[in-house]
Structure formats: structure tokens, C-alpha cells
Structure 1
Amino acid sequence: MSASTPATGTPAGHEPAAAPARLTRRWSRALVSGATLTVAAVASVHLAATFLYNAPANPVSQRYAEAVHWWMDPLFSQNWRLFAPNPISENLRIEARASLDPDGRTTGWIDLSAQDEATVRGDPAPGHLAENSLRNAWLQYAQTHDGNGNPTGPNSEIMRQYLLNVVFDRLRGQVGGAIGSVQIRATTTLIPGPGRTAAQSAPQTRTLDWWAAGRGGSTA
């Protein structure tokens, strides 16, 4: 065999480089590790905020109350508390109607609660949005505004805009035109029980002013 003729293998100087592959694997591991740590950190923060949001008042929850409410409200808001559940004792029916552009034609009242009920009826695992988003949006609005619609807390405007957004999304696509403004009304009926008179269990309806769609401003 001649000394100038290689016996087998790749000619000298044309061997594949292995370093880039090792570098790619290193970066892949780093990205996976970073993504895992990020998800774990966000999950830990959310679990801690949820616990403090629902736990009875204590020095820790009071100290971080502003940050906890910033994280939880309005998308993750809940209406119950650990160790002291507050079961629902009333039926709430929310309806809305729209004024359509450009002629100002007004639709009839649309029962949004009935639509939610139809969506979850017969579903063994209904989604949180269909079950609670509309109801929670109304309750958060009612808790941050007085009977005349005046704000009573620092998050009042956020809750008003949240309610408007939820209702606007429900109406869009089913009213037959471009929505210029919406009006919302809610009927609350206490569930009959011991100590409640017929008058107390009678339906109570609250109708809000017209709100301009997209801006959250009142038109009345």
C-alpha cells in the first residue's frame, strides 16, 4: 500500500466538526431549563397569590394586599374564602341590549345568563369562563360601585371596563350590526330559606346607564 493513499475513512481535512452539535445541545438544555424555571416561578407566584387572596386576613395578606389584588383581579378573582365558604344564596340573571351604529337602532334584551346555562347544561366538566366569568364580572362591578354607579374603590374603573368587555364580547356577532353602546341589567333573586320573607325573596332588578362600546364611557 502506498504511503500517499489513505486506507479507509474520510480524506484528511474533511472530517465533520463535532463542536457545533455539542454547542446546540448545550443551548437546548439551557433553554429547556430556563423555560422550566420560569414556568415553575410563575406557578409558585400564582399559587401564593391565590392562597393569600382566599385566606383569612393575616399580617402577610394585609402587607401584600395591593400586589395580590393586582395579580388576581379581575381575571382570577374569586368570591369564596378558605375555612369560611360563602355559598351562593341567590340567583343572578344578567341581560344586555345594544344600540347599533349608524342609525342608533336598539336591540331587544338578550339573556346572557340563559346562554351560559345552555352552554354548561349536560356538560360534565364545564369551563370556568362559561360558568363564572359573566357572574363574577357583575359581582366585582357591584362591589366597587354604589347604587348610582359611582366608584367606591381604587379598582372601580378596571371592574367597570371588565364588565363592559365581557358583555361586549357576548353581544358581538349576534346583534346584526356594529355596536355603538350597550346597556346592562341584572335581576337578583334570593333563594327562599328560613327567616326570609316573600318580600325579601322577590326579584330585585338593577339597570345601568348606557355605556359606549370600546371606551367604557357612559352615554346617559
Structure 2
Amino acid sequence: MRTWSTPALLVLCTAGAVLLGGTALFLAALFLHSAPSNALSKQYRAELDAVVYPEFEQNWRLFAPNPLQQNVTVDARVQTIAADGTVSTREWAGLTAGDIAAVRHNPAPSHVDQNLLRRALDFYDSTHAEQQVIGPRAGLAEQYLKRVALQRLGPADRGLRLFQVQLRVGTAELAPPEWSREQVDTEPKYRELPWWPVGENDLRGLW
């Protein structure tokens, strides 16, 4: 039987205490972040956000779950311009559909496929209301959403350059269960965003 020296035991006990303490603090931070707002979570909001975001982000709350009741999809299309000045408009491409296809049947889906597009749209909506700017970060939100869309669409064909990009957001209510008498219109309703010009800076580093 191996006998540990006193210094070795001291090091092992100290390391174990640090690991247990760190784990307890981390779990406590996750709990406070997910729990309803309280005095502690308000006082240490910045510290809690620093622990949770971005790796451990959650979109649910303890004790008061609020599941999504709508399916939201994002489509995009671009206009290209040829050397002779001819402008062509591509068909709508389903950005959300592409993300769903990448996630479905994938045992370890990418965080990018699951959340990047959705968070970019949430960021945009939080800084715009009926196409009106409502915050100082509106330009950043627009640029971010535009670059996300352009990255998913890919570069233009040879001999063409990207001229403009446009997004549309489809919202469809989830159908009620078969046993429910509730009547819900499940047809998607679309909201088109403005055409945004595409410059060299918009494309830098995307592919």
C-alpha cells in the first residue's frame, strides 16, 4: 500500500477542495442565471453573464418555462451584376432550412447551425421596430445579419459580383394538439427586410 507524504497529501487535499469549490460556484452561477430575478442575480448580473456567456448560454428559465409557440424561418436572396451592367435576382434560399438539415440526425450538432442565424435575427429585431432604428447598435445588428446571410449564400458565380442582398422572415403559429378545440391559422406570414447593398467589406473573410 502506497503511503503519501504529508506535503503530497496537502497538495491533493488543496487541489480537491479547489475543484469542488469551483464546481459549486459554477453550478451556483448557472442556477442564479436561470432562476427568476432576485437580489443576488441583480447584484452580480455582470459576473453571472461572464460565467455563462457564450459557452453555457441557455434560453430557458427555472420555474417558468416559456417554450416557443411559433416557427420562424429566414430566407435570403441576392442580386448579382454582370460586367455589362445586367442585374439578376436569384430565387429565395432557405437559410433556416439549411440549418435544420445540418442539425437533423446529427448527434453533435454545431452551435453555429443551431443558434447563429436565430441570434442574429433576434439582435436585429431588438434594434429595429417596423424598419425604424431604435438603438445605437442598429447598424451593427444590420451588418451582422447581412454577413451571416452572405456567408450562407456563398460567393457569386464567375463573372458576376454580388450587388444587393435581401432577407425575409416567415412566422407560422404552431398547430394545436389533435384533442384541442383551438383554431389556429398555421399559414406562414412573411416580412421582407430592405435590400442591403453589398460592398467589399461585407464579404471580407466570409469564405
2:134 to 152, 156, 174: 152
1:111-122 aligned at under 5 Å gives the runs 111-122=94-105
Structure having the larger proportion of residues in strand:
2
Of 69-78 and 81-90, more deviation after overlay is shown by 69-78
Q: Does 1:210 align with 2:195?
A: yes
- Listed as ranges, the gaps of 5+ residues in structure 2 are 1-25, 203-207
Q: Does 1:198 align with 2:184?
A: yes
Aligned residue number for residue 107 of structure 1: 90
Q: Does 1:166 align with 2:148?
A: yes
Query: How many Å separate the matches in 2 of 1:48 and 1:180?
Result: 50
Aligned residue number for residue 137 of structure 1: 120
Q: Which amino acid aligns with 1:192?
A: A
Shift of the 197–121 alpha-carbon distance from structure 1 to 2, 3 Å rule, reads same
Tell me, what secondary structure is at the counterpart of 1:170? Answer: helix
Shift of the 196–122 alpha-carbon distance from structure 1 to 2, 3 Å rule, reads same
Shift of the 58–179 alpha-carbon distance from structure 1 to 2, 3 Å rule, reads farther
Cα distance, 1:61 vs structure 2: 4.6
* Kept in 2: contact 1:172–1:179 (CA 8 A): no
Shift of the 198–161 alpha-carbon distance from structure 1 to 2, 3 Å rule, reads same
Alpha carbon RMSD of aligned pairs, Å?
A: 3.7
Tell me, what secondary structure is at the counterpart of 1:167? Answer: helix
The higher-RCO structure (CA 8 Å, 6+ apart) is 2
Structure 1 length-normalised TM = 0.60
Query: How many Å separate the matches in 2 of 1:195 and 1:60?
Result: 43
Structure 2 length-normalised TM = 0.64
* Kept in 1: contact 2:173–2:184 (CA 8 A): no
Query: How many Å separate the matches in 1 of 2:194 and 2:52?
Result: 27
Shift of the 52–157 alpha-carbon distance from structure 1 to 2, 3 Å rule, reads farther
* Kept in 2: contact 1:74–1:162 (CA 8 A): no
1:98 to 78, 88, 93: 78
